Amino acid sequence: MRILITGGAGFIGSHLCDALVASGHSVLALDDFSTGRHENIAHLEGHALFSLVSADIGDEEIVRECVAAADRVFHLASAVGVRLIVEQPVRTIETIVHGTSVVLEACARYRRPVLITSTSEVYGKSSKVPFSEEDDLVIGPSTKRRWGYAVSKALDEFLAMAYWHHSRMPVIVVRLFNTVGPRQTGQYGMVVPRFVQQALRGEPLTVYGDGTQTRCFCHVKDVVQALVRLMDYPAARGQVFNIGNAEEISIRQLAERVIALTGSISAIRMVPFEEAYGPDFEDMQRRVPDLSKIQKAIGYAPRHTLDDIIRDMIAYYAEKRGPHALYQAG
């Protein structure tokens, strides 16, 4: 099968390229390299089953050509990371809203099955934990830049569902919870790569707020397997699914775990949110997925624990740092 992956050079997109090429599919990755990186897909370049188009998902003509050439589409291209979202709010909204609209229009035109990646951010400040797909979305005010990301992704979901209701266009929406793994960078805010790199360098781990906020981290390999299996499951069309791992940990405990697993001498530094992200920032206190829907649909159960995830990240960054790494995994 020929498969188009928008955002194919990104962190999750590149792992999806690997999985699909390994199963014998022909993969076309579309990426504008704003946050995607050549090194994520360098090992695939020259492979007979892999090709790359370097373009923006806002480019209607190119997106139409790519969609027309594909049997199925995974739409992953997006602005990513809390840091980038608060620093570039206009670009964030435009990329997410316009880009997804272009992709959906092209998929409707050629009637291609498409999977749209949304985010657990859409649950916003909801205190009804765990979050399940039919829950209300509780979004903060428009004066706080972070919510522009959640609202844009929610709009993508509404547009996808509108196509489904209008013409039964085969579309699946997934809400990705915190996803972690090799190739993820801490540059755009993501906490696990940041903590692992700080620990390997012997620098303080920067815990934002009071560190009691919790998250659930899922290995990118579990996420990618879920994406592939949902696409292969016709009854998933017209539906929304959470993808993640329900193992909950506070950010303070996460920092302690990373220090323990690296054997680092690093201390923990508490950083007020205002210092990290500016004055109009709001964080979510708890974010836990209800996974019963996807479990029932495709038998999904994440295989990697949080310790597996942290160890994988330590191995990845220790190897990148080379023989001069201060601390080794173990």
Interface with ligand UDP (CB under 6 A), residue total 14
Task: Classify strands 179-180 and 50-54 as parallel, antiparallel or unpaired.
Answer: unpaired
Measured at the CA of 113, the angle between CA 176 and CA 31, to 5 degrees, comes to 60
Q: Is the dihedral of CA 304, 305, 306, 309 positive or negative?
A: negative
Q: What is the phi-psi region of residue 299: left when phi exceeds 0, alpha when psi lies from -120 to 50, beta otherwise?
A: left
State which of residues 208, 241, 300, 317 lies at the interface with ligand UDP (CB under 6 A): 208
Report if residue 213 touches ligand UDP, rule: CB under 6 A. Answer: yes
Report if residue 82 touches ligand UDP, rule: CB under 6 A. Answer: yes
Encoded one letter per residue, x for contact with ligand UDP by CB under 6 A and - for no contact, window 23-62 reads: ----------------------------------------
CA–CA dist 48, 203 (Å, integer):
43
Report if residue 178 touches ligand UDP, rule: CB under 6 A. Answer: yes
Q: What is the dihedral of CA 36, 38, 40, 46, to 10 degrees?
A: 130
Can you spell out the DSSP letters for 77-106?
----SHHHHHH-HHHHHHHHHHHHHHHHHH
State which of residues 105, 282, 283, 308 lies at the interface with ligand UDP (CB under 6 A): 283
CB of 254 to ligand UDP, least distance (A): 8
State which of residues 139, 154, 190, 306 lies at the interface with ligand UDP (CB under 6 A): 190
Report if residue 251 touches ligand UDP, rule: CB under 6 A. Answer: yes
Segment lying near ligand UDP (by CB under 6 A), choices 88-96, 123-131, 186-194, 225-233: 186-194
State which of residues 189, 244, 289, 302 lies at the interface with ligand UDP (CB under 6 A): 189
Report if residue 215 touches ligand UDP, rule: CB under 6 A. Answer: yes
Measured at the CA of 34, the angle between CA 54 and CA 203, to 5 degrees, comes to 140
- Decide: 309 and 192 in contact? Cβ < 8 Å: yes
Binding positions for ligand UDP, rule: CB under 6 A: 82, 178, 189-191, 194, 206-209, 213, 215, 251, 283
